[in-house]
């Protein structure tokens, strides 16, 4: 076993043990733990180990490790801390709660993702504390028409069983499944109709997660239908079917598309890294002299490329190919090919007395093409 | 679905006339609808007509994918380096800044890197990429090696490029003169080269019809 795997296993064991201790403590020594839900608990514990293991392995890749370190460094830099905290709230609401960037990619994709995401968030917020025994309900001995909610064994909200609040609370998973099913239908519709998606999608990566979410939601709804309108018909079978679909989904969390749930918060760190980069020294292209990114980013990429075994060092004043802007790279590629032809064709040359400046390339069609960093170029670089 | 192994992409920037048909056609591709992934730069607008059409060269060991902290860029078995996977890309710009050919584009508002994927919806179904379909001078050509050899007897495809101490091998080839017997295109050696037009070279057509 390599050092990386040992480290990742260690983190996995640590997180799993911590969760197990929290389950025991939060359910008051398992006194509020529902033994019927033990299968779910073990599936969550396994998923915790596997997700932590994969996350720890992922964090050890040179580019991820560097960004992880830099993200925290720039966030806690004293001169930017207040702005960073304000931006953190702004981004968590805009990017995570509202999915703004996904809506900009495609409206239908945004709606589908929001429905699935909020359905899953609601379902997890209800089921996980219930499964771990962190939440339980009790009927006060003097009034059986009321329910009191206990969080980690402490009494909290009380509500009448036959009330609108009671109806909404007890059917929380039904509302969640409605959201998820609608989102899954929209996502599947796009996957079945979009030619671009059809060319790239894979069963395990793109379809299986949707099928699993659909299976969990439908089997959950069938349980409600069974005890509400069918006098508990086939309830045991449905309970096993639902448990199987949930457990399989939990076990699949670390392997497929679901893992993006845990990766996506890295976007916040990237945001802070870019914010600081914009305010500090830029990297100037060592061919055309134009600023094209932050100096820190260029230097970090040189470090990452060296760690990955790339040798982009150049002899002369440019020192490293990373100091050349993307536009000059494209120009040099074409000039390199031109040089080969010129060497072969030879001929008699007439030199025109232009100023000896290096060619400054420009976009062929700025209406449909843009600088490499899109809007960021307009804001910061390539003015 | 995958790109057929005997179909290859050949680029010959020296043939580019800067008509921009490739850019317009590129926006029609279903995998990046409405967005042109091809780059067309004027190398020295004031003094030269030379243009630089650049598509993704689909490296065997893609630097963009290696430096991606989110592991969002994947190379399929047929050698095509796909655009960033939407759920994973965190818009860090690493790929944009590390690609030796200057190809990826960051769609900041989408938080997504997009790049040429050789029109995967078309090429994986046996069709040509949009740009190669419309290029009037065949600066962008998609076909078999036999076809290109027959069309360009004086040229040979090269798929190795030197950037300082690094040689990058690609799936896409660039047409180079056969007589040069070059193993690779030395990109960094061209750092101080001038665009054609600054120097007018005569007699270059001598012997071309032989």
Q: pLDDT (tens digit, 9 = 90+) per residue, A100-139?
A: 999 999 999 999 999 999 999 999 999 999 999 999 999 9
Query: How close, in Å, is residue A210 to chain B by CA atoms?
Result: 14
A325/B186 Cβ within 8 A: no
Interface with chain B: mutation pick from A372, A375, A378, A380, highest number of B CBs within 10 Å: A372
Cα–Cα distance, A197 to A191 (Å, whole number): 6
A312/B177 Cβ within 8 A: no
Q: Which residues of chain A make contact with B107, given a CB cutoff of 8 A?
A: 374
For residues A74 and A272, is the Cβ–Cβ distance under 8 A? yes
Q: Output the domain CATH number for residue B143.
A: 3.30.70.20
Decide which of A367 and B143 is more confident.
Answer: B143
Residue B66 domain-assigned?
no
Instruction: Give 10-residue mean pLDDT values along chain B (210 residues).
Output: 88 94 93 91 86 96 96 94 94 95 91 94 94 96 96 96 97 95 94 74 56
Q: Is residue B186 within 8 angstroms of chain A, CB to CB? A: yes
Mean pLDDT across the stretch A294-312?
96
CA neighbor of B93 nearest in space, from B74, B62, B70, B121: B70
Q: Model confidence at A383, in pLDDT bands (50, 70, 90)?
A: very low
Residue window 60-99, chain B: list those with CB within 8 Å of chain A. 63, 66-71, 82, 86-88, 90-94, 96-99
Lowest mean pLDDT among A172-176, A353-357, B102-106: A353-357
Residue B79 domain-assigned?
no
Buried/exposed code over B50-67 (b: 16+ C-beta within 10 A; e: otherwise): bbbbbbbbbbeebbbbbb
Radius of gyration of chain A (CA): 28
Residue B164 domain-assigned?
yes
For residues B14 and A360, is the Cβ–Cβ distance under 8 A? no
Q: Which helix (H) or strand (E) holds B61?
A: none
* Dihedral angle of Cα B140, B143, B144, B149, to the nearest 10 degrees: -40
For residues A84 and A286, is the Cβ–Cβ distance under 8 A? no
3-class SS shares of chain A: helix, strand, coil, % to 5: 65, 10, 25
Q: Which residue of B has its CA nearest to A194?
A: B30
3-class SS shares of chain B: helix, strand, coil, % to 5: 20, 25, 55
* pLDDT of the residue at A348: 57
Q: Report the 10 Å Cβ neighbour count for A354.
A: 14
Q: Which domain holds residue B46?
A: 8-59+122-190
A313/B165 Cβ within 8 A: yes
CA B208 to chain centre: 26
CA neighbor of A48 nearest in space, from A76, A20, A81, A87: A20
CA A352 to chain centre: 56
Strand order in the sheet with B155-163: B140-143, B8-11, B166-177, B155-163, B185-186
Q: Is ipTM over 0.95?
A: no
* pLDDT of the residue at A250: 94
Which residues lie closer than 8 Å to A267 by C-beta, 6 or more apart? A91, A95, B90, B91, B111
For residues B33 and B114, is the Cβ–Cβ distance under 8 A? no
Backbone angles phi, psi at B59, to 5 degrees: -65, 150
Instruction: Report the DSSP beta bridge partners of residue B185.
Output: B161
From the list B52, B112, B192, which residue is nearest A361 (CB)? Answer: B52
Read off the tokens for B65: 């994918």
CA separation, residue A117 to residues A222, A252, A306 (Å) = 22, 17, 39
Q: Is residue B41 within 8 angstroms of chain A, CB to CB? A: yes
For residues B151 and B134, is the Cβ–Cβ distance under 8 A? no
Angle between helices A295-308 and A266-279 (to 10 degrees): 130
Cα–Cα distance, A366 to A357 (Å, whole number): 23
Which residues lie closer than 8 Å to A262 by C-beta, 6 or more apart? A51, A55
Cα–Cα distance, B7 to B1 (Å, whole number): 14
Query: How close, in Å, is residue A90 to chain B by CA atoms?
Result: 15
* pLDDT of the residue at B210: 47
Q: Which residues of chain B make contact with A346, given a CB cutoff of 8 A?
A: 201, 203-204
Query: Coil, helix or strand for A121?
Result: helix
Q: Which residues of chain A make contact with B176, given a CB cutoff of 8 A?
A: 337, 340-341
Query: CA angle, B67 as apex, B131 and B116 as ends, to 5°?
Result: 10
Q: Model confidence at A354, in pLDDT bands (50, 70, 90)?
A: low
Residue window 109-168, chain B: list those with CB within 8 Å of chain A. 109-112, 120-121, 124-125, 161, 163-166
Q: Report the 10 Å Cβ neighbour count for B184.
A: 18
Q: Which residues of chain A make contact with B1, given a CB cutoff of 8 A?
A: 199
Q: Which residue of A has its CA nearest to B117?
A: A200
Q: Which residues of chain A make contact with B180, given a CB cutoff of 8 A?
A: 340-341, 343-344
Q: Which residue of A has its CA nearest to B43?
A: A361
Judge whether residue A224 has pLDDT over 50: yes
Q: How many CA atoms lie within 13 A of B153 on its CB side?
A: 4
* pLDDT of the residue at A343: 84
Mean pLDDT across the stretch A188-212?
92
B109/A101 Cβ within 8 A: yes
What is the dihedral sign for C-alpha A223, A228, A232, A234?
A: negative
Cα–Cα distance, B144 to B131 (Å, whole number): 16
Backbone angles phi, psi at A162, to 5 degrees: -95, 70
From the list B188, B194, B202, which residue is nearest A314 (CB)? Answer: B188
CA separation, residue B119 to residues A372, B13, B64 (Å) = 20, 19, 18
Cα–Cα distance, A282 to A277 (Å, whole number): 7
Read off the tokens for A263: 């990766």
Query: Coil, helix or strand for A139?
Result: coil
Mean pLDDT across the stretch A213-218?
98
A64/B202 Cβ within 8 A: no
Number of domains forming the structure of chain B = 1
* pLDDT of the residue at A357: 61
Q: Model confidence at A144, in pLDDT bands (50, 70, 90)?
A: confident
Q: Model confidence at A191, in pLDDT bands (50, 70, 90)?
A: very high
CA separation, residue B94 to residues A259, B83, B104 (Å) = 21, 14, 10
DSSP-derived secondary structure for A241-301: HHHHHHHHHHHHTTTSGGGHHHHTTHHHHHHHHHHHHHHSPEEEPTTT--EEEEHHHHHHH
For residues A350 and B202, is the Cβ–Cβ distance under 8 A? yes
């Amino acid at each position: 076993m390599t050092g990386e795997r040992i480290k990742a296993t260690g983190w996995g064991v640590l997180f799993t043990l911590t969760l197990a201790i929290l389950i025991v403590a939060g359910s008051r020594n398992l006194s509020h733990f529902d033994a019927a839900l033990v299968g779910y608990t073990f599936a969550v514990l396994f998923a915790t180990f596997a997700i932590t293991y994969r996350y720890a392995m992922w964090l050890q890749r040179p580019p991820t490790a560097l960004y992880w370190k830099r993200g925290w460094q720039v966030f806690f830099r004293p001169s930017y801390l207040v702005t960073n905290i304000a931006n953190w709230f702004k981004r968590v609401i805009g990017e995570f709660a509202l999915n703004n960037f996904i809506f900009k990619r495609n409206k239908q994709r945004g709606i589908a993702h929001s429905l699935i995401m909020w359905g899953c968030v609601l379902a997890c917020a209800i089921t996980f504390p219930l499964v771990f025994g962190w939440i339980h309900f009790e009927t006060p001995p003097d009034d059986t028409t009321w329910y009191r909610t206990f969080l980690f064994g402490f009494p909290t909200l009380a509500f009448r069983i036959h009330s609108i609040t009671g109806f909404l609370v007890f059917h929380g998973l039904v509302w969640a499944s409605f959201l998820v099913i609608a989102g899954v239908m929209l996502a599947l519709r796009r996957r079945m109709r979009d030619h671009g998606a059809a060319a790239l999608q894979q069963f395990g990566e793109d379809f299986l997660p949707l099928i699993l979410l659909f299976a969990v939601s439908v089997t959950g709804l069938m349980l409600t239908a069974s005890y509400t309108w069918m006098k508990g018909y086939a309830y045991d079978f449905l309970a096993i079917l639902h448990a199987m679909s949930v457990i399989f989904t939990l076990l699949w969390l670390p392997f497929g598309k679901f893992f993006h749930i845990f990766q996506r918060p890295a976007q916040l760190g990237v945001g802070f890294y870019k914010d600081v980069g914009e305010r500090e020294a830029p990297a100037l292209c060592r061919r055309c002299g134009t600023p094209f990114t932050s100096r820190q980013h260029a230097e970090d990429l040189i470090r990452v490329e060296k760690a990955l075994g790339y040798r982009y060092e150049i002899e002369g004043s440019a020192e490293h190919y990373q100091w050349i802007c993307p536009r000059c790279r494209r120009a040099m590629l074409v000039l390199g090919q031109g040089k080969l032809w010129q060497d072969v064709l030879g001929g008699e040359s007439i030199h025109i007395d232009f100023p000896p400046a290096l060619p400054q390339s420009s976009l062929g069609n700025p209406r449909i093409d843009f600088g490499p960093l899109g809007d960021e170029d307009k804001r910061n670089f390539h003015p | 679905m995958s790109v057929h192994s005997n179909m290859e992409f050949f680029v010959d920037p020296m043939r580019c006339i800067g008509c921009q048909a490739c850019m317009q056609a590129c926006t029609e591709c279903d995998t990046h609808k409405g967005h042109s992934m091809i780059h067309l730069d004027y190398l020295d607008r004031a003094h030269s007509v030379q243009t630089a059409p650049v598509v993704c060269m689909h490296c065997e060991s893609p630097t963009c994918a290696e430096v991606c902290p989110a592991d969002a860029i994947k190379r399929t078995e047929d050698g095509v380096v796909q655009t960033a996977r939407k759920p994973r890309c965190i818009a860090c710009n690493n790929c944009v800044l590390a690609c030796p050919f200057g190809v990826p584009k960051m769609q900041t508002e989408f938080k997504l890197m997009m790049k040429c994927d050789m029109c995967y919806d078309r090429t994986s179904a046996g069709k040509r990429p949009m740009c190669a379909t419309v290029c009037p001078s065949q600066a962008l050509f998609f076909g078999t090696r036999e076809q290109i050899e027959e069309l360009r007897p004086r040229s040979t495809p090269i798929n190795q490029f030197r950037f300082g101490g690094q040689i990058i091998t690609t799936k896409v080839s660039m047409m180079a003169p056969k007589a040069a017997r070059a193993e690779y295109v030395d990109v960094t050696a061209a750092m101080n080269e001038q665009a054609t037009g600054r120097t007018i070279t005569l007699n270059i057509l001598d012997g071309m019809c032989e």
